Amino acid sequence: MKLHQLLADIDIKTPMQSDIGDIPVHEVTDNSADVKEGYVFVAIGGYSSDGHDFIEASIQQGASLIIGEKDIDNLPVPYIQVPNSRKVLGMLARKLYSEPAKEKLIIGITGTNGKTTTSYMLKHLLESSGKSCSVIGTIENIINGEKIPSRNTTPSSLILHKLLAMSTDEVVIMEVSSHGLSQCRIEGVTFDYCLFTNLHQEHLDYHGSMENYFQAKKLLFEKLAPGGTAVVNTDNPWGEKLADHLQHEEKNVYRIGASVSSNLRIADINLQNSTATVEERGESSAVFTPMNGIHNMYNMIMAFGTAALIGVSKENLLPALFQFKGVEGRFEIYKLANGAAVIVDYAHTPDAVAHCLATAKQQGAGRIVHVFGFRGDRDPGKRQEIMSVTASMSNQYILTLDDLNSVSFSEMETTLTWLNNTYGNEKGRIIPDRTKAIQTAIEESQPEDWIIITGKGHEQYQQSYKLPARSDKEIVQYLSSPENV
């Protein structure tokens, strides 16, 4: 592709030299380490480093053109200054990969909790009706049935367009995080369906306020294709606000909720047998979820409603619901030999923890023992609320380590002690080694106990611990095997 084709429609701050339009461009990158002969290097001012500092290195490696935001003179290769390099990266990637989203049905799912679960539920329902689906999200990316590790919930725009170009699936279901939205990672993609699950306290270290966080989530809905539909859980107040706003903008909005004005009305939920009745234009349908909890029922109803909008008949959906296998690290249940249950769950927001503990109670937990920690460098504002939730809803809790990130062990230990003394109660204790904390909970368990381990879900441990396991699931399996009991 020639440079002038690549840059058409792109907002450029300074006039482009007239003689560079014919430069051929084969690849673009924002990482100097990836630059090869003839690449375009896009310099991005990041959170831990500044791509503009790597312009010289990228030229030495063969970059033939640099795009950036800063005033820069006298480079040995042409330089194009733009107002927003992150946005330009997405626009270039879209062109270089020949608009890979164009022929597919693209579905974006945003919200604080439930994106991953809803994605897998929707994938399952669509695949059961014969549609092939890619998934781009937190656990992994699944493209043409192949699993590809994911670093971010929403990848950089460059990776995103590469994944879209690789996919030969008919549908792409994508989790869209608020970080991804505010960092223009979905630039160049338009969506046929945008789903909003809910909004609760999270990421306030990054967004500053709930209103800003909401505004970031709202950006997804600006990417709805003409004729596309927003599917919104209006039982969440932020969802109601979003639906009203989108309707005011004359977008297609499909409301899901208990209100009689909902397009898909949730008439009844029975948590004992995990069923719900939903109604649309006077017609009732049954919904079932094999995953416990009202939160998972909402996720399933969102997936069900979306699959029906896409054209799968509601009658065909019901048998498929019974076949759903659940999602790794989301309310995964293990039974111990003594009858106690162990749950591994990815809850890491106050709302998610509350749902998880409440679900254990609804399912008949005699005593709840909650094992959890707090991630270093991540939204300290939510810790107090999580402590209060666990202090009131569990019978005992053990504070332990989660990923430390850049925080030292001793600093985290001090934080845990302070949190326990300030917001906990006499039900709590601290066992820093996560594997030992889980071992203690299991060894002390009684037959009616439910041990709820939250925070890591499907993820591998970042720290090394005493017992030989790399994840919550592995340690539970290790400790439940007869030779280690």
Ligand X SMILES: Nc1ncnc2c1ncn2[C@@H]1O[C@H](COP(=O)(O)OP(=O)(O)OP(=O)(O)O)[C@@H](O)[C@H]1O
Ligand Y SMILES: CC(=O)N[C@H]1[C@@H](OP(=O)(O)OP(=O)(O)OC[C@H]2O[C@@H](n3ccc(=O)[nH]c3=O)[C@H](O)[C@@H]2O)O[C@H](CO)[C@@H](O)[C@@H]1O[C@H](C)C(=O)N[C@@H](C)C(=O)N[C@H](CCC(=O)O)C(=O)O
Question: Which residues in 41-80 contact ligand Y (CB under 6 A)?
Answer: 44, 46-49, 51, 54
Q: Which of 197, 306, 400, 420 binds ligand X (CB under 6 A)?
A: 197
Integer CA distances (angstroms), 233 to 59, 125, 249, 323, 332, in order: 49, 19, 18, 24, 25
179 binds ligand Y (CB under 6 A): yes
The helix (H) or strand (E) run that includes residue 55 is helix 55-60
Work out what residue 346 binds among ligand X, ligand Y, none; the CB cut-off runs from 5 to 8 Å by kind: ligand X
Determine how many CB atoms are found less than 10 A away from the CB of residue 197.
Answer: 25
Q: Is residue 185 marked as binding? A: yes
Q: Tell me: is residue 141 an annotated ligand-binding position.
A: no
Nearest partner of 34 among 23, 26, 22, judged by Cα: 26
Give the nearest distance from C-beta 126 to ligand X in angstroms.
Answer: 17
Q: Among ligand Y, ligand X, none, what does residue 44 contact (CB within 5–8 Å per kind)?
A: ligand Y
Of 105 and 176, nearer to ligand Y (C-beta) is 176
- Rounded distance between C-alpha atoms, residue 479 and residue 342, angstroms: 11
Q: Which helix (H) or strand (E) holds 119?
A: helix 115-128
Instruction: Give the Cα separation of 185 and 232 in Å (integer).
Output: 22
* DSSP per-residue letters across 186-212: TTT--EEEEEE----S--HHHHSSHHH
Contacts (CB under 6 A) with ligand Y, residues 7-36: 30-33
User: Is residue 440 within the footprint of ligand X (CB under 6 A)?
Assistant: no
Q: Which of ligand X, ligand Y, none sits in contact with 295, Cβ below 5 to 8 A by type?
A: ligand X
Q: How far is the CB of 305 from ligand X (least distance, A)?
A: 14
Residue 114 within binding range of ligand Y, rule CB under 6 A = no
Binding to ligand Y by residue 149, rule CB under 6 A?
no
Taking the least distance from each CB to ligand Y, the nearer of 206 and 478 is 206
29, 32, 117, 141: which one binds ligand X (CB under 6 A) = 117
Which lies closer to ligand Y via its Cβ, residue 32 or residue 471? 32
What DSSP designation does 16 have?
P
Collapsing DSSP states into helix, strand and coil, what is residue 252?
Answer: strand
Residue labelled with tokens 């450029």: 12
SS3 assignment, position 184: coil
Nearest approach, Cβ of 377 to ligand X (angstroms)?
A: 15
Contact call for residue 299 and ligand X (CB under 6 A): yes
Helix (H, G, I), strand (E, B) or coil at 231: strand
Instruction: Assess 84 for contact with ligand Y (CB under 6 A).
Output: no
Instruction: Name residue, tokens 């009991």.
Output: 485
200 binds ligand Y (CB under 6 A): no
Residue 306 is labelled as binding a ligand: no
Residue 154 within binding range of ligand Y, rule CB under 6 A: yes
Token readout for 255 is: 């409301």
The token pair at 314 is 């509601």
Question: DSSP letters of 409-476?
Answer: HHHHHHHHHHHHHHH--TTEEE--SHHHHHHHHHHT--TTEEEEEES-TTPPPSS--SSS-SSHHHHH
Q: How far apart are CA 439 and CA 447, in angstroms?
A: 16
Measured from the CB atom, the residue of 10 and 294 that comes closer to ligand X is 294
Identity of the amino acid at 47: Y
Residue 152 annotated as binding site: yes
Among 95, 217, 295, 456, binds ligand X (CB under 6 A): 295
Residue 187 in the binding site for ligand X (CB under 6 A): no
The tokens describing 370, both together, are: 């909650």
119 to 148, contacts with ligand X by CB under 6 A?
138
Tell me whether residue 110 is annotated as binding. no
384 known ligand binder? no
Q: Is 393 in the site for ligand X (CB under 6 A)?
A: no
Binding residues: 32, 111-117, 152-154, 177, 183, 185
The footprint of ligand Y (CB under 6 A) covers: 30-33, 44, 46-49, 51, 54, 151-154, 156, 177, 179-180, 183, 185
The footprint of ligand X (CB under 6 A) covers: 111, 113-117, 138, 153, 175, 177, 197-198, 295, 298-299, 330, 345-347, 351-352, 355-356, 457
